[in-house]
Structures are given as structure tokens and as C-alpha cells.
Chains A and B, each alone.
Chain A
Amino acid sequence: MNLLREELSWITPELCLTLFACVALLVDLFVQKGRESVMVGFFSLMGLLATAFFLYRQYGVTPPAQPVFGCMVVDPFSTLFKLFAVGALAFVVLFTMLSRQTRPDGYGEFYFILLCAGLGAFFLASTYNLLLMYLGLELLSIASYILAGYAKGNRRSGEAAMKYVIFGAVASGVMLYGFTLLYGMTGSIDLTVIGPKLRDQFALDHGTIPISVATGLCLAGFAYKISAAPFHFWTPDVYEGAPTPVTTFLAVASKGAGFAALLRFLQAGFIPDRTLGGPEAMMGYSDKLGTLVAVLAALTMTLGNLAALGQTNLKRMLAYSSIAHAGYVLMGVATMNREGFSSVLFYLVVYYFMNLGAFGVVMYYANTTGDEQIDDLKGLGWRSPLVAITMVAFLVALVGLPPTAGFIGKWFLFTAAVKKGFLWLAVVAGINSAISLFYYFRVARAMWLRPEEEAKYATVHASPAFAALLLVLAVGTVWFGVGFDSLLRYCDYSQNLLR
């Protein structure tokens, strides 16, 4: 019984989130009509706060040696991603409360599904068990399908959700088939067992074709979740069609969880322990896998950036930009070593701040004007300076220029890639960053380099709450560009304890 209590104490954050998801539903049923939005949102925020508190308490405590209940891993790595997901959810809830675009008739179910999606991200980030990984991915995905189609009666939202569900279901089906092949080869669905078993098989030197097929199928699923080429087609459509707070969630939390699972998958299953020395074939295979990911990274960032150049819709442009950023992050994954992985973590945290901010500005703009075109932003700088200034901070960070966190994040990624010997990849990424300057600059130009008289829309002041949110994000974006030491140490720490 004591053991049970101890195990339960390790999954308090998940229990707490589940509880508050249910509470959100109940509150919607019992609260007076017309006040659901505020009350349900408030309870969801309380739940997220409580979850964050429990997560914070887990940080610094020696993690359990064995997975909890045989499948949940509690370590700083998962705690980092869970905090990441909780923070993103909190911003999404706040955005939803402030947004005019999402006015659902059932607030309870919206927040319930949102919190469930967060729960899926939790599971995805903290397991070596392939089945639980699949279930987490599906919980996250299915909730995202519903959220993407939440603007009922809106053709674009419905279409986005439909495309998402079709592509998503196929990708997860492909991934599941890859998992079953791994199970067939090793007789286990636990990655910590699969890794050594694969090492034995490499030692037997049966050839790598079956393993390559299985790995390829699994990678396809992960590539879909992080919207990497060639499985990125759904991204622009879904990001554009979904309600903006939901888009924010997809771009930040969903992608982050996908990367967490990918890192765990590669780390536990396919990176030989250099100190122990694996069979020669496995070393070669691991390097080949790294090269494959590197090629995918180059492809992803190039496709994303080139497509973003021609966009006129702000949301769609940011969608392509998020594809490009998945490419940059994959650069760190391709190194297949600890340094690369810790730079991935760092960049994801940075990405979190700048993308939340950029989508927040899009939401503000769409709310006040009902318009998402880049060219119609003209004169915004003179009319709503605060919003425009923070937007410039986010854009500078997205390009990757100092003194923002975007620069530091990219710096670490580039260094890791070059050290691993992917000089060509770093060059491609550099050229891509230069390309991205053009389309990010177009937004800034529309906002500032046009006279005030040309402004299309009258002055709209951001509500104080919204302005505060944007300021927090902008300060974070700049702060981590200067005082990045503590964050870097935390990312490193999370990475080192990854078994």
C-alpha cells in the first residue's frame, strides 16, 4: 500500500490535470448561464496552476529509479516538457478567454478537450513505453482534431479539421505499424528493452533492412507530429483554418511534445552507449539515421522558408515559418548526441516564447479587425505601438538575430551540428535564416515603414490583460537572449539525466 501511495504521488500532476478537466465540465453544467466563459476558464487556469505547482515540487527531487506503474518515467526531461505544456495551455486558455473568434456554445467541453490534449502531451513526453506513447499521441491528436474544427459552421475550420483528421489518422496508423514491427523483432514494447535487443540483433549481423523499415515507419509518425517534411502538408491548412488560440496550441505544445517523444525514441532505442561500445553495425546505423534526419532537416527548413515567402495571410505565413523552425530543431536532433539534444531543448523553450507571442499578436489583430492579411497591417505601428513593438521583438527572435533568445538558440543548434560534422547542414540553415529575413521583414515593414495616413484600421487599444500577456512573452524572448545561463543549465541537467 505504501508503494502504491508513493507511485501515485509521482503522477500527481497528471491526476490533477484530469481532475480539473472533469471539473471544467461540471462547472459548465452548474454555473449560471452567461457566466460559463469566465468561470470555466478560471477553473481551468486554477487546474493548470495546481498542476504546475506539483510539477515544480517534482523538480529537484531525486526521480524514481524505475518507471512509475511500469510505464511512466518521471525525470527532469519529462518535467521540463510538462511545464512547457502547462505554460502553453495557460496561455491558450487566456487567449481563448480574450478572443472573440472562439465563442463556442459549450465552454465546458472546449476547455475539457484542451486539458485532455495537454494530458496527451504529458504522456507523450514521459514514457519509454511504445503503447503509452501511442495512446498519448492519439489523445493529443484526437483532441486537436476536435479543437481545430471548433468554429462550427465555419467552412475553413471544418475543412481544416477534416484534413487534419485524415492525415493524422494515417500518420499515427503508420507509426503504430512501425511500433508493432519493433515489437515483433524484440518481443517488447519498452524502449529501454528494445534498445539492447536491437544491439544484439545488430551483433548477429542479419542486415538492417527490417530494422530500417520499422524505424522509417515510426519516424514518419513523429515527422507528422512535428510537421517535418515530407509530412508537413497538413500544417498550413490546419493552422490557417483552426481558431487562432487552437493554432497556438498546435504550434507550441503539440510540436514540443512530438519532439520530446522523438528524442526519447531515438535516445533509448538507437543511440549506442559509446562508453560501452556497441557492435560496429549499430554505430554505423546510428550515424546513418543521423544523416537521414539531417537531410530531412535541410528539406524541411528549405521547403518551409520558400513557401513562406509568397504568403499574404499572416497566419499561413507563421504556419510555414513553424515548419521551417521544425527544420532548425531537427538539426539538433540529427547530431544524435547529448549536446545536440540539449540545444534542441533550449531552442524549444525559446520557440515557445516567440511563437506564443507572434500568434498572440495575430489573434489581437484578427479580433480587432477580422482580417489576417499581412499588407493590411500597414500603419499598425503608429496606431497601436505596444503591440507592434512586441511583434517586432518576436519577429527578430524568429529570424534569429541578437540580442534575442532566438539568436542564442540558433547559435547552440549550429554549433552542435558543426561539431558533429554537419557543416553543410549549418550552411543550409544559415542561407535559410537569410531567406526568412525577407518575409519576417515584410510584416515589420507593413507595420512601421508606411505613413500613418495609410493605416487601414482605426486605433484599437489592446486590453490591459492582453497587453500584459504580450509584454511577458516579449520580455521572455529578450531576457533569454541575454541571461540564458540558467535556462541552459536546466536544459543540460534535464538532458544528462535522460537515461
Chain B
Amino acid sequence: MSFFGAPVFFLAAALFALGIYGFMTRRNLIVVLMSIELMLNAANLTFLAAARGTAQANEASSYAVFVILVAAAEVAVGLALVLAVFRLKRDSDIDAARDLRG
């Protein structure tokens, strides 16, 4: 349980909270994607911090590599879709996406 006392855990939690905050408040899709990156990096940091100094340090690094891979794939798809929508609407604001409601 001592792990939760470590400063780096608070850093990760702060990063995660920033990501959530950005996702909630920003209307621009690219900034929202950046916020999501922040959240994933917070998770990475927690992985690495939790295993720091233990026998599992290498293991945790490999998990982080997988998360980075997923983040890259997600952002690639996300950006492509944002661009596709932008071409149709000429607007990257979240509120512009309002064809589907009800």
C-alpha cells in the first residue's frame, strides 16, 4: 500500500485528471485526442512507478511498450476519422457533429 504514498503516483494521477479535464472541457477534437494521450501516459507512468525497484521492472516496461503501441494505433485511427469528418463539415468542433441526435 506504500506505493500510493509515492510522489510519482500523484504525478500520474494529476496527468490522468488533466486528461479527463481536457476531454470534458475542450471542444476541439485534436485537443481531445491529445487529452486521451495524456490519460494513457498516466497509466504508463503508474505501471513503471509501481514496478520501480522490484524484480518486475522489465515486465512493466514491456507493458508500457504495448500501451504505447495501442495509443499510436488509436491516435492514427482517431486522426484519420477527424480529418474525414472535417472534410465533410469543414469544422473540427465537437458541437459540429450533430447530425445524429434524438
Contacts and interface: CB of A to CB of B under 8 A. Distances in A.
- Tell me if chain B binds chain A: yes
Interface of A: 131, 134-135, 138, 142, 145-146, 149, 152-153, 155-156, 158-163, 165-166, 169-170, 172-174, 176-177, 179-181, 183-185, 187, 189, 201, 206, 210, 236-237, 240-241, 310-313, 316
B14 interface: no
B77 to A, nearest CB: 5
B100 A156 contact: yes
A158 B81 contact: yes
Given A131-B66, A169-B74, A176-B43, A313 B49 contact: no
A160 to B, nearest CB: 6
Contacts of A149: 81, 84
Given A138-B74, A210-B1, A316 B42 contact: no
B50 A165 contact: no
Nearest to B47: A180
B43 A138 contact: no
Interface in B35-49: 36, 39-40, 42-44, 46-47, 49
B57 to A, nearest CB: 11
B7 interface: no
Query: Which range contains the number of B residues in contact with the other chain?
Result: 35 or more
Contact of B77 (A163, A165, A183): A165
A158 B92 CA distance: 13
A137 to B, nearest CB: 9
24 contacts: A131-B66, A138-B74, A146-B77, A155-B88, A159-B100, A160-B100, A162-B82, A165-B74, A165-B77, A165-B78, A165-B81, A170-B36, A173-B39, A173-B40, A176-B67, A177-B16, A177-B42, A177-B43, A180-B50, A183-B46, A183-B50, A184-B9, A187-B54, A241-B100
A140 B73 CA distance: 12
Nearest to B45: A180
Contacts of B19: 173
Contacts of A142: 70, 73-74, 77
B25 to A, nearest CB: 13
A162 B97 contact: yes
Contacts of B99: 155-156, 159, 241
- Most B CB contacts (10 A, CB to CB) among A146, A149, A184, A201 go to A184
Interface in B43-70: 43-44, 46-47, 49-51, 54, 56, 60, 63, 66-67, 70
Contact of A184 (B3, B39, B77): B3
A162 B77 CA distance: 9
Contact of B70 (A134, A170, A179): A134
Interface in B76-101: 77-78, 81-82, 84-85, 88-89, 94, 97, 99-101
A15 B16 CA distance: 36
A218 to B, nearest CB: 12
Contacts of A161: 81, 84
Contacts of B20: 170, 174
A145 B74 CA distance: 9
Contacts of A162: 29, 81-82, 84-85, 97
A403 B56 CA distance: 56
Contacts of B94: 166
B1 A201 contact: yes
Contact of B39 (A159, A177, A313): A177
B100 A174 contact: no
A155 B46 contact: no
Sort A-B residue pairs by CB-CB distance and give the 3 closest, nearest first: A184-B50, A173-B39, A180-B46
Contacts of A138: 70, 73-74
Nearest to A240: B100
A187 B82 contact: no
Contacts of B29: 162, 166
Contacts of B77: 142, 145-146, 165
A183 B12 CA distance: 14
A136 to B, nearest CB: 11
B40 to A, nearest CB: 5
Nearest to A320: B102
A162 B95 CA distance: 12
Given A155-B99, A180-B12, 17 more contacts: A134-B70, A142-B70, A145-B81, A152-B84, A155-B89, A158-B81, A159-B99, A162-B29, A162-B82, A162-B84, A165-B74, A165-B78, A166-B94, A173-B40, A181-B46, A237-B100, A310-B102
Contacts of B9: 184
A201 B47 CA distance: 20
B70 A135 contact: yes
Given A176-B40, A206-B1, A236 B81 contact: no
A472 B75 CA distance: 40
A158 B90 CA distance: 13
Contacts of B50: 180, 183-184, 187
A316 B16 contact: no
B4 to A, nearest CB: 6
Contacts of B89: 155
A424 B73 CA distance: 44
A207 to B, nearest CB: 10
